[in-house]
Structure 1
Amino acid sequence: MKKILNLTYNLLKLKFSNASKPVMLSLYITNKCNLRCSYCFIQDEKVPQEVRNSEFTLEEIKKIIDDFYRLGTRMIFLLGGEPLVHKKFGEIVEYIHRKGIVIHVNTNGTLIDKKIDELKFADGICVSLDGIGEANDSHRGKGVYELAISNIEKAKSVGLKCRIHSMLTRANLHKFEELVHVAKELGVMITISPAHYIEAGNNKELIIKDDEYRAFWGKYYELKKQGYPIGNSLYTIEAMINWPLGYGEIMMKNAKLPEGYQRPIPCVNSKYYVGLSADGILHYCLKPGMPIGPNVKDVGVLNAWETLVKTRPDCYACASTNTIEYSLSSCLHKSAIANAIKFQLFR
């Protein structure tokens, strides 16, 4: 609770200033993974081998965390690849915890049972699932679904907070409600991201048409209103329903919107939120096609961040549930606060 209050205090300070601080950091500690998901852009054969095998050492990670802490980071999402394959994973989590930083771990769920003791300092665990049984395993590998579900139950049994996160594609669009019911049975929240937000968008078989997307968000909204444990805020779902452009399009600051549409909340990427990939590159945004920032291994965290702030792209918003939620949280929007409270209460 102390870490949550500290995060909230720092967000409040930013709310009443015009400063840019990376309060939230997505830290990709490794690109290595024990699975080969069909839409994973990191393991694509077009990606150079050295990038696919990129991984920070423990000492590099400690230095990165120290530098970002001095810049104002109070919440870190640990990602990969699969972060739990990092040999120093437990030490990394404990180091972040000792700094008083909120930690959320994104995982495919298959190694939780083997790393349960190393996860004890995590404030939240996000398990990636794309559907029930074969709907999930066809993308992630045979037996992954059952193992992930079993490990969620094990994590919950020792008091760890879990949620399910799903990548929405054409393959699971019409079966997604089944996964919502599973989340309810498990007593965990569920959130989603659209496939066009990552380079899975290059796989035409996974892409959803805009009219289908809009219909889905309407149904998703109704499930949320009915009390299902959907972690995406009502504001975010409404923003997706009312998105005025194509779902893969980015809204620029000077964009003229169709009549009757309102601008959504502005994006805070490279203002209050930033991503650092395992090869050392600091990212304005993790959406494909966006420009990249400097490499912290070359110029250091402080210089890389200052460059990012000065050269921020002239975009305003996009149809990414992740980006909208980050922006809501940074602004302490009432919808984000309500969701945070619900997550803390879910066991």
Structure 2
Amino acid sequence: MLRENVESNFFQGLQGSAKVHYLRISVTDRCNERCVYCFPQDLGFLSKKENLLSFEEIYWTIFHGALRHGFKDFRITGGEPLVRKGTVSFIEQLTKISGVRSVRLSTNGTLLGLYARKLKEANIAGVNVSLDCLNPALYKKITGGDIAPVLEGIDECQKVGIESVKINTVLLRGINEEEFLPLIEWASEKKLVIRFIELMPISYTGKISKENFLSVAELKKRLEKQDDLEPLDYKLGQGPAKYFRMKKRNAIVGFIGAISDFHFCDNCNKMRLTSDGFIRPCLGNHLEIDIKPFLRPSVDPFKVYQAFELALQRKPPEHSFRENYNPGRVMTSIGG
């Protein structure tokens, strides 16, 4: 069971916000969809249950490692995080910890209808939903799932008053190109922010090629022929997206260009904790630090702290996606 109280003096003397202050926490490598760019056909990558961190182990990793190094913002990811029993209760525990500024969730949206109200009650700061198209048949082709519960879940998030709901759309040349404007107009109508994300080499089945890769720069040029794009003079969230307002449609559109933007890593503020207990300083780099030996059979606070220290010291200045990168393991295993 998670401890409900933390000693307030533990946080005395912590310095102000560090450059790296954002930790993405994967709670599971399981998912109830099979997206073509993310989830491979071979399920051999799935972790054995005993290798997954318990919620208590994640809690102590955050407490002894992340918070003591100035991390303030956290995102719960998967796989699909809501397929793991207890995820919403864990989010509620995190939001109560002194030193935690925000906790957000990334999800495919299929279970949001069931959990939106509980997430609101848990003080979730925001929800990002993966949605690559509005066409039900195409959605089935891309994800293997049904779009209806996703759209219903997004509506439920807005109904219960979750403050920030953003849509994430992966750019797939030749697959969902006709969906971009309908998605933008739909998002604008619902007063949602939509972000377009370049395909990255993060899956055994998702190799980048000129046939499937579409850059955010190319998309931006296409949209500029349809509307005027004004850069926002304020930041939305903790991530790397660059945001614009489409004047005619009154839509806010973000672009995340990990491959084409050669300055993408300049202001990186994040690291990852995988569901099987590895600190990963960079998504596009194979370096990982196993912290399970410092959590089992009992927690060693100092070694957990040292593991984060080492990860921060060894965080690379930029990713390796442009260097014929072979992912090593898939996105659902690393954490979205």
| TM-score under structure 2 length normalisation | 0.71
Query: Which of 179, 186, 191 in structure 1 is aligned with 2:183?
Result: 179
2:91 corresponding residue in structure 1: 93
Distance in structure 2 (CA, Å) of the matches to 1:297 and 1:183: 41
Return the offset for 1:61: 1.9
Secondary structure in 2 matching 1:275 = strand
Secondary structure in 2 matching 1:279 = coil
Deviations 1:76-135 (A, max 9, x none): 111001111111112211111102430110011110121123311211011110111223
1:114 corresponding residue in structure 2: 114
Contact 2:184 2:194 (8 Å CA) reproduced: yes
Distance in structure 1 (CA, Å) of the matches to 2:293 and 2:130: 32
Return the offset for 1:318: 7.5
Distance in structure 2 (CA, Å) of the matches to 1:126 and 1:150: 14
2:134 corresponding residue in structure 1: 132
Distance in structure 1 (CA, Å) of the matches to 2:186 and 2:153: 14
Distance in structure 1 (CA, Å) of the matches to 2:45 and 2:264: 36
1:293 corresponding residue in structure 2: 288
Identity rate, percent: 24
Secondary structure in 1 matching 2:112 = coil
2:272 corresponding residue in structure 1: 275
Secondary structure in 2 matching 1:202 = coil
Contact 2:22 2:74 (8 Å CA) reproduced: yes
Distance in structure 1 (CA, Å) of the matches to 2:43 and 2:82: 25
1:8 corresponding residue in structure 2: none
Return the offset for 1:31: 0.8
Secondary structure in 1 matching 2:103 = strand
Return the offset for 1:293: 2.3
2:166 corresponding residue in structure 1: 163
Distance in structure 2 (CA, Å) of the matches to 1:113 and 1:205: 37
Query: Which of 24, 27, 30 in structure 2 is aligned with 1:26?
Result: 24
Deviations 1:288-322 (A, max 9, x none): xx122211213453222222233233538989xxx
* 1:70 correspondence with 2:72: no
Q: Return 5+ residue gaps in structure 1 as ranges.
A: 1-11, 15-19, 241-246, 252-263, 320-347
| TM-score under structure 1 length normalisation | 0.69
Contact 1:266 1:317 (8 Å CA) reproduced: no
Secondary structure in 2 matching 1:195 = coil
The one-letter code of the counterpart of 1:154 is E
Return the offset for 1:202: 1.3
Distance in structure 1 (CA, Å) of the matches to 2:279 and 2:41: 20
Inter-CA distance 28–316: structure 2 relative to 1 (3 Å threshold): closer
Aligned length: 272
The one-letter code of the counterpart of 2:103 is I
Contact 1:275 1:285 (8 Å CA) reproduced: yes
- Greater relative contact order (CA < 8 Å, ≥ 6 in sequence): 2
Distance in structure 2 (CA, Å) of the matches to 1:316 and 1:155: 34
The one-letter code of the counterpart of 1:60 is E
2:45 corresponding residue in structure 1: 48
The one-letter code of the counterpart of 2:26 is Y
The one-letter code of the counterpart of 2:92 is E
The one-letter code of the counterpart of 2:246 is Q
Distance in structure 2 (CA, Å) of the matches to 1:141 and 1:125: 22
The one-letter code of the counterpart of 2:68 is R
Contact 1:29 1:79 (8 Å CA) reproduced: yes
The one-letter code of the counterpart of 2:23 is L
Contact 1:196 1:207 (8 Å CA) reproduced: no
Q: Could you say which structure has the higher helix fraction? A: 1
Inter-CA distance 112–57: structure 2 relative to 1 (3 Å threshold): same
Secondary structure in 1 matching 2:129 = strand
Query: Which of 209, 213, 224 in structure 2 is aligned with 1:208?
Result: 213
2:311 corresponding residue in structure 1: 308
Distance in structure 1 (CA, Å) of the matches to 2:245 and 2:72: 31
Secondary structure in 2 matching 1:191 = strand
Query: Which of 142, 147, 150 in structure 2 is aligned with 1:148?
Result: 150
